[in-house]
Amino acid sequence: MAYDASDPRSALNAPAKSAVPPPTEFAAADYAKFYETKPQEDDANGKTWYARGQNFIIAYTEAKPGATFTRKGQTDEYVVLLHDADTAADLAAGSEKKSIGGYTVTFVPPGDSSVTLPKGGRLVRMFTTRSADLAAKCSNAASYAKPHPNIPPYVSWPVPKDGYKIRTYSLDVPPAPGRFGRIFRCTTFMVNYIDPRVGPRDITKMSPHYHDDFEQCSLALEGSFIHDIRWPWIPDMRQWREDDHELCGTPSIAVIPPPSIHTTRAMDAGTNQLVDIFCPPRVDFSEKPGWVLNADDYPMPGH
């Protein structure tokens, strides 16, 4: 890891000697630039784009007023992200109903549920790839016809002691010294709403790092970003890959595979808003006191 001293992640404990076997092959990074491509759905609800990683699916929607999105027999918990403060939603899950405002992240229980946007607006939903019907819609589904290497089988995290219910959290959380972003987790996802950056990133304070055995999804909601990605050299030169320096505008996702070295540069003169997504949640972030803002609601494995 190579974090600038001003980066809160520089305080993460040094990783123990990895028990993960050295890689023998690598997956490419995936980039889904929704602004450049046709949506997978274009109907009375609006336009929806789908893209995926090994374990997760991102559904990005520009919803029309009154749009309703239902799930029948949903296998596991999913995420509803409303980035814009003036977006409102009516949620139902089983017998529970809840109306929420924008600039929120919500975790929706398994089973039957619905999300309605009375005024329309931007909607991001996050599902695991256990939702096979949605995985089949993804623009990059062919990339995962064969599971990507270096990622273990997906395992959900423990259910809250008080059971599943609609849980909504405001994103209006001020930065705090020593805390990285605004992190929320559930049984399936960890969502880190990075503190917005105004103007381009200082290229003398980058944060190149890697993950042994999990993907990172970086969702751009405002501005633009260059994702700098480098794969390690291994004895088999046939597996070597050229570096990526991919410019992604809004809206888009970058799927960063392990164990590539990566860092991201905000590029626009105005606001740049990135959301980092992990499926399942990260242990190292969860172990930092105060980093996961809803840690009291969702236990860690073994706790």
Q: Which domains does the chain have, with CATH numbers?
A: 8-286 (2.60.120.10)
Q: What is the pLDDT of residue 6?
A: 77
Q: Residue 132 to residues 52, 71, 114, 229: CA-CA distances in angstroms?
A: 11, 12, 18, 29
Distance CA 36, CA 268 (A): 18
Residue identified by tokens 């980093």 is 291
Q: What is the pLDDT of residue 38?
A: 98
One-letter identity of residue 244: D
Distance CA 279, CA 266 (A): 23
Condensed to tens digits (0 to 9), the pLDDT of residues 112-138 reads: 999 999 999 999 999 999 999 999 999
Residue identified by tokens 């219910």 is 165
The dihedrals phi and psi of 31, each to the nearest 5 degrees, come to -130, 125
Of 137, 78, 81, 82, the closest CA to residue 108 belongs to 78
Q: Is the pLDDT of residue 16 over 60?
A: no
Model pTM score: 0.94
Helix (H, G, I), strand (E, B) or coil at 21: coil
Q: Residue 110 to residues 94, 131, 166, 186: CA-CA distances in angstroms?
A: 9, 11, 10, 12
By CB atoms closer than 10 A (0-12, 13-18, 19+), residue 19 is exposed
The dihedrals phi and psi of 178, each to the nearest 5 degrees, come to 85, -5
Condensed to tens digits (0 to 9), the pLDDT of residues 53-94 reads: 999 999 999 999 999 999 999 999 999 999 999 999 999 999
